[in-house]
Amino acid sequence: MRAIQWKKYSISYLFLIPSFLFIATFLYYPVLLAMFHSFTKWNLVESEWIGFDNFTNMFNDPMFVKGALNQLIYTVTDILKAIIFPLLAAELIHMLGGKKLKYMFRTGFILPMLLPGIVTVLLWQNMYDPSNGLINQLLSVLGLESWAMPWLGDEKTAIWSLIMMGFPFIAGLPFLIFYAAIGNMSQDQLEAARIDGATGWHIFTKLHLPFLVPQFKVVIILTIIGSLQDFVKILVMTQGGPGDATINPAMLMYNAAFGASQYGYGSAIGIALFLIILVITLFNMKFLKTDY
């Protein structure tokens, strides 16, 4: 039977071979190569096997420890931003009366997804400019010149300035996930709750939140993965500075590989991030199963 099926679909399988080759060449091979070179001292010209020295140096590196602590702050705040504000926006839009009004606001929140991320980064970089930036100019107009400062140049404010990028934090993908889930809720349950005298707060806490648990899990996992991989905004806006105030492991990996030509050490940091993401993904698949 299997032989018959193989003959029937053999041509279809042949058409899949180019896709598998591309995946193996541009996805799996680089990962395997990075795994190998994470155990070497490699500068693209010479490769010397040094075992676990790169990983030992990584965990003994004060810069990596600082980057890991910064990453914890980034990740926690990213999760809060990805849940609270998009969920609030989705709830408020669903409370609107007319379909046209809902469509207008929904489209308005989704449109920024069409912009390249670097555009947002450069926009906020200009807003934080200490001389002509919008934030300091606005403080000057309000008579609060004493509050003006080099937001990205001060160790006390640099990391929080990066965290505040994108305010009011209504990211398109989490917003769509929450909005779609709320729209798929049983209207009969909602009407029954209103007839029983449930207020908007009770409907939100007793019906909406429990129903949205699968969506929370998806958004949290995607946010953690994105946060661990993100270094573009840090590279463009602060390059990890001032000092090590905004550094994170992904930025350290970039600096080691492309700044100091320590490709083996950079590979070790990349493999460490890969393993963290892999563990989180497996944990989500194993223990946080959802019915969607």
Confidence of residue 196 (pLDDT cuts 50, 70, 90): low
Mean pLDDT of 37-46: 88
CATH code of 243's domain: 1.10.3720.10
Burial class (CB in 10 A: 0-12, 13-18, 19+), 125: middle
pLDDT for 116-125, tens place per residue? 888 889 999 9
C-alpha angle 149-155-156 in degrees, rounded to nearest 5? 70
Tell me how far CA of residue 21 lies from CA of 13, 33, 224, 244, 257, in angstroms. 13, 16, 30, 41, 27
Task: Confirm whether 6 is domain-assigned.
Answer: no
Task: Confirm whether 258 is domain-assigned.
Answer: yes
Q: What is the pLDDT of residue 289?
A: 57
Instruction: For the chain, give the mean pLDDT.
Output: 85
Task: Confirm whether 37 is domain-assigned.
Answer: no
Task: Confirm whether 59 is domain-assigned.
Answer: no
Task: Confirm whether 169 is domain-assigned.
Answer: yes
- The domain in which residue 112 lies consists of 68-287
Mean pLDDT of 189-217: 76
Determine how many CB atoms are found less than 10 A away from the CB of residue 112.
13
Domain count for the chain: 1
Task: Confirm whether 94 is domain-assigned.
Answer: yes
Task: Confirm whether 127 is domain-assigned.
Answer: yes
pLDDT for 85-99, tens place per residue? 999 988 888 877 777
Confidence of residue 4 (pLDDT cuts 50, 70, 90): low
